[in-house]
Structure 1
Amino acid sequence: MSDVSAKVPVMSRFCRSASQVLEIEQQAIAGLHQYLNEAFDRACEMILHCGGKIVVTGMGKSGHVGSKIAATLASTGTPAFFLHPGEASHGDLGMISEGDLIIAISNSGESDEILALLPVLKRRGIPLISMTGKPESTMAREANVHLCIRVEREACPLGLAPTSSTTATLVMGDALAVALLEARGFTADDFALSHPGGALGKRLLLRVSDIMHAGDALPLVSNEASISEALLEVSRKGLGMTGIVAADGTLAGIFTDGDLRRILDQQVDIHHTSISQVMTANGITVGSEMMAAEAVKLMETRKINGLLVVDAQRRPLGAFNMHDLLRARVI
């Protein structure tokens, strides 16, 4: 008999070490549940009703995590920025204004650079939320609210490099940001307004009016035009379709590349047949204020490559196709 155990892949020492890190940090995150208490509620209320900005500060690895927490708060509806405590003692404390609130982060709760700021902050009446791993620390005692981020042990086998503690801090910061996001009724549209340059912002902010071809670039022919005249318009405008308008200027129908293939199979005389005889009447149209992302969903559902844009009276305003949506990075 073959040895079944020989077929089981042996975990390398690197993977064993990494696996242990994941286990320890998962335990650290799970341990945070016990600290979601009245102090967390008070911290959220303080931030929610803060009339100024949230200033996050921390030294070393706590500072790196604090910078990310500040960025997350700012992008989810809570105005925030990171202030280096060392620089704060040398002039940057002037960035803090009346009505602001400080979130100070230190695993030990005894960061000298932060402790040096406390007398000035108290004198100016700036509220302080501390995040430490030691409720008995100076920062914890001096804060208006203390959020505990204590972990049983660091994932570093030496117990020295901040690992589990920084992960716990980051997660607690995310918990604050999301709790506040929901309390503010922050929406996807709000999120997009602070991310206009990214793909997400484009999907959420762009409207059909931002991408459609209008004016001379809009393919249109009258309903009295021949098929050949309509084909010339399709070719000139390069959108794979043309709108057909009635005498009163309203949209009568649409003619696409797909329609052309169908009539060629029927051997229709393209020079003497009116486009109104072969067009798709009352085709699918959209309004100019529709979100581009909604238009994508509609086109995918109906399996069409282009759309005409009309106003409330069904007068053509523009046209666009999948290539336009791709260029705009909506898809």
Structure 2
Amino acid sequence: MKEPDVGPTRPLAYAIGGTIHYGDRTIDVGEEVQFLTVTDDGVAFVREPLRGQPGAKPLWFTDGSTVERIGTTYGSPARGYTVEAADTGSLLMVRPSFVVIDTSTGLPIHRDSASYGGTDVVVLSVHDDAIYWVDPADTPCELADFYRECLRYRWVVRYDVAADSIARWTWARYDEDLRSRPRTIVGEDRGTPPVPGTFPMDPVFDRQGTDLIARYYDGAGEFTLREARTGEPIRLRVPSGATEATRFEFSQWLDDDHLVLFAYTSFGSELADEGDIFVCALSTGNCRLELQGQPGTAYQLPSLD
């Protein structure tokens, strides 16, 4: 059987306390890690102690050997941080000021103090050549749910990295681009049939025996997740007896075929909690236990948005 073309590979990354584990390397960063995300070059993270209120926090980066400050982000462990990493390549998008950082150099390649990077912006996806988002303050709502919460705004904003330009795109054009990319999963919205271009609820998997069943985060309903490029349904399974965990959340891509899931047992747990780490191959549907959780050990992992 021919092995799938998996593209560039990233090491598994997670933190325990003030130690970042990046592949076979461990980096002591001195203080507890509150947040981390991964590019092809290393790990970006926030390490300041909990202060209870959202505010400016230094953004740090390590390639596994050195630690350097590369910018400033905002947020808190409870609310999250305004940093998104590209699925492949070296780019980080940092808000609320719209700053794009190239982690291969540690330098910003774009900086814009306009509202494009505001905290209310919904970042749809970050890629090595483009960043997509919606700004509710600047975009009319086109489709709302029963509670008048907007499900789809009229257009998408696209930042072109090579041209260093920003433009409005239609949802159809964005959808076409998205479905040409690796490391991209698409799902269905609550509507039947699903409406193209709507914001998906955060998908998770619930374990039934050895099968992982995709659901909305609040547990309301099952649906099918698909690989964007092929349209093939994603069906994952874990070895019998490998874990007592009942819920699995997306964490990070290792390559085009392998992604990391964080497994836990209590509903509503955060990623920085006790649990097991699995690596799953989309081509086979098989998941292997990579790291078994230990009582009293809390992990901090990247999170796929």
TM-score range relative to shorter protein: under 0.3
Q: Tell me the TM-score normalized by structure 1.
A: 0.18
Please give the TM-score of this superposition, normalised by the length of structure 2.
0.19
Which protein shows a greater Rg? 1
Specify which structure has the higher proportion of helix: 1
